[in-house]
Amino acid sequence: AQKITQTQPGMFVQEKEAVTLDCTYDTSDQSYGLFWYKQPSSGEMIFLIYQGSYDEQNATEGRYSLNFQKARKSANLVISASQLGDSAMYFCAMREYMDTGRRALTFGSGTRLQVQP
């Protein structure tokens, strides 16, 4: 079963506007971590932001914020004041216990964001 779901294959946003990238997750664990990564066309994976399941405040990192709604099991990424350099693939990921009893990170299928001038 899909643990991380990103329902938006592609998104467009105008430069300087805000955009929300959706992510829902499924887990029975009480302790887990949620991450967002950016992958520009050059291919590297860039860590953006982290939210722990017990964190009471939504995480923020500069223009990135994570809208964490635990009851809904959603962890949406909000990018404020979009820039052309934000055009990339964005992946939501969750660290949780695998069947082996050890934690690993599983990823969603990604959302391709294109920022238009």
Partner 1 sequence: NAGVTQTPKFQVLKTGQSMTLQCAQDMNHEYMSWYRQDPGMGLRLIHYSVGAGITDQGEVPNGYNVSRSTTEDFPLRLLSAAPSQTSVYFCASRPPTGVAGELFFGEGSRLTVL
Q: How far apart are CA 102 and CA 98, in angstroms?
A: 6
Q: How far apart are CA 51 and CA 73, in angstroms?
A: 12
Nearer CB in complex with partner 1: 15/61: 61
89-108 residues near partner 1, rule: CB under 8 A: 91, 93, 95-96, 98, 100, 102-108
Q: Name every residue whose Cβ is closer than 8 Å to that of residue 99 and which is 6 or more positions away in sequence.
A: none
x/- map, 53-92, partner 1, by CB under 8 A: x-------------------------------------x-
Nearer CB in complex with partner 1: 19/23: 23
Per rule CB under 8 A, is residue 21 in the interface with partner 1? no
Per rule CB under 8 A, is residue 24 in the interface with partner 1? no
AA letter at 11: M
Q: How far apart are CA 78 and CA 72, in angstroms?
A: 17
Minimum CB distance to partner 1, residue 78 (Å): 19
Q: What does each C-alpha distance from 59 to 43, 66, 81, 101 come to in angstroms? A: 25, 5, 17, 27
Minimum CB distance to partner 1, residue 81 (Å): 23
Minimum CB distance to partner 1, residue 18 (Å): 24
Please name the residue that has the structure tokens 């722990």: 52
